[in-house]
Structure 1
Amino acid sequence: MNGDTFAPPPPYYPTANTTLSHRRGDPHGRASINSLPLHLVHRILLLTLDRRATPSRFWSDPEEERVRRIWGLFRGLRGVNRVFWLVATSILRAMYLETFLSLIQRGFSSDPFPYDSSHLAEADQSDSTEDGRASTRSVYDGRARETAVFDRFIAIKVGEELRKVESELSEEGEGEREIFTRLQPAARIEDLLLTLPPNLIIPHPNPNVPPRPTLPLPQTHLSITLTPTWAQLYLHSSAVTTSKRGSKELVVEVRRTGTLEGTTKRIEEGLDDIQRRLVEWGGRVG
């Protein structure tokens, strides 16, 4: 059959979903980058890391170009908008997760994603909410404590890789060592506090009542400080995920065990002793 005899394609009529998507991107109905589906944003950002898909004539060293593209994703593209930040961060997490897990101290556990902390589904629907509160919510809200440590590890690694390609004299800092000797174990225990009974730990405090030195304690206002021998549980006057933690006071100090789960169990026993008035508030449990 001659191709000239084919019927023309049917006309295109925008669907209701397409029109809604355009309105989400722009109040006047014009399409914008904010109206792109998440899978397209993910594909676009992945292509910026692919030298074959997006070739450049300005770089001759493949390793330097690879590192600078990752730096551009981390430092530049994440700042475009909320969706770009979330998608780019998810790509970076996938790239560095295996390295992060391989550096966990022997005998320690790790779960950088104990619950959904990316809000990607929320970002996809945020502009369709009545008040748009989800779209203005901080991208850091809802992150688990170890997820935040993992993101810090990514920032350190991306910076170190860039400095290495810029100068062979570049030396590694102490940031990575601090993460795996102090920050990761403490953050993991802080996440494990949510596994304790509700008479000891609750996920969120009553927003109308500031935290008081009494059980149960709000996990959002708790932090862990580790020494080689002891683990100290502190109660903060403000949520620890905010920039200002406010004042803090010691709740209980327990002797560390060989595992993070074991230390968390010791904290549970210490809080139970406080509840039964066997140990004073701020006391030590050996």
Structure 2
Amino acid sequence: MYTSSALSAPPPPYVPTPTYRSSHHANSIKRKKGISALPLHLIHRILHLTLDQRATPSNFWSDSEEERVRRIWALFRGLRGVNRVFWLVATSILRAMYLESYLSHIKPDYSSDPFPYESSHLDDPSLGDATLDASFRSVYEGRGRETAVFDRYIAVKVGQELRTVESSLSEEGEAVDDIFKRLQPTARIEDLLLTIPSQYIIPSFSSPNPPPRGLPLPQSHLSITLTPTWAQLYLHSHPLSSSRRGSRELVVEVRRIGTLEGTVKRIEDGLDDIQRRLVSWGGRVQ
């Protein structure tokens, strides 16, 4: 049974292009029923059976491992693209399959939470009905930064597994190492910024204009850059979830401490110093 806590955050963005239809045409579409109208637990069962070689046997492959990998690839590249509902359900299946593998790569003394928010668009009753405005809401909304990194890891692993069964000469490359050396700790810190008191950081900034220079800072416009020694907090003119590209400016630079939570505490101390005018905007905190 699907619940928000089981599915956690929504997967990568998918916003169908709205089309203009007459009311008569829209009503006729609403009356049409398809597989997307089934209860979500049944859709999950159907998609999950596509990965079960005993439940859905095939004569195309003789190697069971190759068949397993190619079925996962078909779920990843083919079935997710059927419609909005398939995308969400298939992504939840893939996340459950690769979660343990993802967590096994977390560096010592680092923390991880691929699903920092208890949100799911699968609870939306308008899901899959393209005639309702609510269904045009991007499923990117509410997704944590580390959730996006986890989804990238899944994409990399699915591709690597497919290349491995296709050729024994395939090499894995450095994509996974790059994820856990750079992307995962950065995304984790960006999610942890929401644990800083609201006088310093708030979730978002509800205005079409760039956020003003000053506290509190909207987390939706913040990013982190890490070096071996320093952590830099940047304020962007547009939300990071937006496809728009704008300017960014350094807010504060702090010396890193062993754990990610320790670095976040240093960022909080740096913002407190800015508020008390002990450090200038864009300054460095030793």
Range into which the TM-score falls when normalised by the shorter chain: 0.7 to 0.9
Q: 1:88-237 residue pairs with structure 2 within 5 A?
A: 88-122=90-124, 124-126=125-127, 132-237=132-237
Aligned residues: 262
Match among 69, 76, 79 for residue 77 of structure 1: 79
On the 8 A contact 1:164/1:170 being kept in 2, the answer is: yes
| 8 A contact 2:220–2:239 mirrored in 1 | yes
Query: Deviations along 1:169-218, whole A, 9 cap, x unmatched?
Result: 00011111111011000000000000111110000102254212111000
Give the direction of change, closer, same or farther, for the CA distance of 1:207–1:79 in structure 2 (3 Å limit).
Answer: same
DSSP-derived class of the 1:165 partner: helix
Whole-Å separation in 2 of the counterparts to 1:28 and 1:240:
35
Flag the 1:228–1:54 CA change in 2: closer, same or farther, 3 A.
same
Question: Do 1:230 and 1:256's aligned partners in 2 also have CA atoms closer than 8 Å?
Answer: yes
Report the secondary structure of 2:31's partner residue: coil
Contact 2:72–2:158, Cα closer than 8 Å, also in 1 = yes
Secondary structure in structure 2 of the residue aligned to 1:231: strand
Amino acid at match of 1:141: E
Q: 1:44 aligns with which of 43, 46, 67?
A: 46
Deviation (angstroms), 1:240: 0.8
Residues 121, 127 of structure 2: 8 Å contact kept: no
Give the match's secondary structure for 1:65: helix
Partners of 2:51 and 2:129 lie apart in 1 by: 31
Stretch deviating more after TM superposition (34-43 or 150-159): 34-43
State the secondary structure of the residue aligned to 1:125.
coil
Q: Which amino acid aligns with 1:125?
A: S
Asked if structure 2 preserves the Cα contact closer than 8 Å seen for 1:222 and 1:233, the reply is: yes
TM superposition outliers: structure 1 runs of 4+ over 6 Å = none
Aligned-pair CA distance for 1:120: 1.3
* Structure 1 residues 127 and 166: CA distance shift in structure 2, 3 A: closer
Give the letter aligned to residue 32 of structure 2.
R
Q: 1:266 to 1:116 in 2, by over 3 A?
A: same
**Distance across 1 between alignment mates of 2:67 and 2:27:** 33
Task: Read off the aligned partner of 1:183 and give its amino acid letter.
Answer: L
Give the Cα–Cα distance (whole angstroms) in 1 for the partners of residues 227 and 28 of structure 2: 53
Do 1:126 and 1:133's aligned partners in 2 also have CA atoms closer than 8 Å?
no
% identical equivalent positions: 71
Shift of 1:29: 1.6
Which amino acid in 1 is paired with 2:123?
A
The equivalent of 2:17 in structure 1 is none
Q: Distance in 2 between the 1:128 and 1:34 partners?
A: 9
Residue pair 1:196, 1:268 contacting (<8 A) in 2 also:
yes
| Preserved contact between residue 25 and residue 33 of structure 1 (Cα < 8 Å) | no
In our comparison, the structure showing a higher alpha carbon Rg is 1
Q: Decide whether aligned partners of structure 1 residues 162 and 223 sit closer, same or farther in structure 2, where only a CA change above 3 A counts.
A: same
Structure-2 change in CA distance of 1:102 and 1:26 (3 Å)? farther
Given that residues 254 and 267 in structure 1 are in contact (C-alpha distance below 8 angstroms), is that contact kept between their aligned partners in structure 2? yes
RMSD of the alignment, in Å?
Answer: 1.9
What is aligned with 2:67? 65
From the superposition, tell whether residues 26 and 157 of structure 1 become closer, same or farther in structure 2 (CA, over 3 Å).
farther
Q: CA deviation at 1:243?
A: 2.7
Distance 1:50 1:224 in 2: 41
2 CA distance for matches of 1:62 and 1:25? 46
Q: Structure 2: which 5+ residue stretches go unaligned?
A: 1-25
TM-score (norm 1): 0.87
Q: Deviations over 1:94-140 (max 9, x none)?
A: 00000111110000000111113442112x434689x8333112222
Task: Quote the offset at 1:250 in angstroms.
Answer: 0.5
Stretches of structure 1 lacking an aligned partner (at least 5 in a row): 1-23
Counterparts of 2:146 and 2:285, CA distance in 1: 26
Using the size of structure 2 for normalisation, the TM-score is 0.87
